[in-house]
Chain A
Amino acid sequence: AQSVTQLDSQVPVFEEAPVELRCNYSSSVSVYLFWYVQYPNQGLQLLLKYLSGSTLVKGINGFEAEFNKSQTSFHLRKPSVHISDTAEYFCAVSDHQGAQKLVFGQGTRLTINP
């Protein structure tokens, strides 16, 4: 079974500063990895996904993430954040086989201060 640990429950940063949201996963098989964003009172929106190939994945809104198999990590980064990036961010993992269900981490609340 897969599991996901998001190492920070809250991350406050100043506007235009860089940010990194950390995600580690556990799995005995090959995985797909995802980052979702959830704005208040909304559903989850896909930011980016790693399925195979290049370990550096670029997503929407200027976000990118790097898959590190040896460290079982998939950290999310953005070089310069905006107030509009304030939201909850979820890392998720799925195996390649079977039902391919998504297993989510606990979430990281990103707060951007002016």
Chain B
Amino acid sequence: EAGVAQSPRYKIIEKRQSVAFWCNPISGHATLYWYQQILGQGPKLLIQFQNNGVVDDSQLPKDRFSAERLKGVDSTLKIQPAKLEDSAVYLCASSPGGLNYGYTFGSGTRLTVV
């Protein structure tokens, strides 16, 4: 089966600019996650979708980050305006259901804010 697709792979922007990342999960996977991985740290959950509804966005900095999952399939994560500390790899993952099924991660988008 095809994996989780993410684009772009790399992005460099100046602070205060906006940026968007795209994720296409594995077909049929109802649950979609966005994680932020800062260099030298483990991934941190930003937002979790179940179909097109938000399950958990408690760690999403809502003053600058937004995410949506239209029609319960693809998802976009946006940052506006970006700060230097947003430099990180943004990982998308999907799962068919609960954790007993496991997650499948995409390759990530590496964002550098200068």
Contact = CB atoms under 8 A, between A and B. Distances in A.
B55 A99 contact: yes
Interface string B19-56: 00000000000000100000011111100100000011
Given A32-B99, A99-B55, A101-B48, 4 more contacts: A51-B99, A51-B100, A102-B43, A104-B42
A106 B99 contact: no
Contacts of B108: 42-43
A105 B100 CA distance: 19
Interface string B88-114: 000101000011101101111000000
Interface residues of A, number: 24
A67 interface: no
B4 interface: yes
Bin the interface of chain B by size: 20 to 34
Contact of A43 (B40, B42, B102, B105): B105
Contacts of B48: 99, 101
A90 B91 CA distance: 14
Given A45-B105, A107-B41, A100 B99 contact: yes
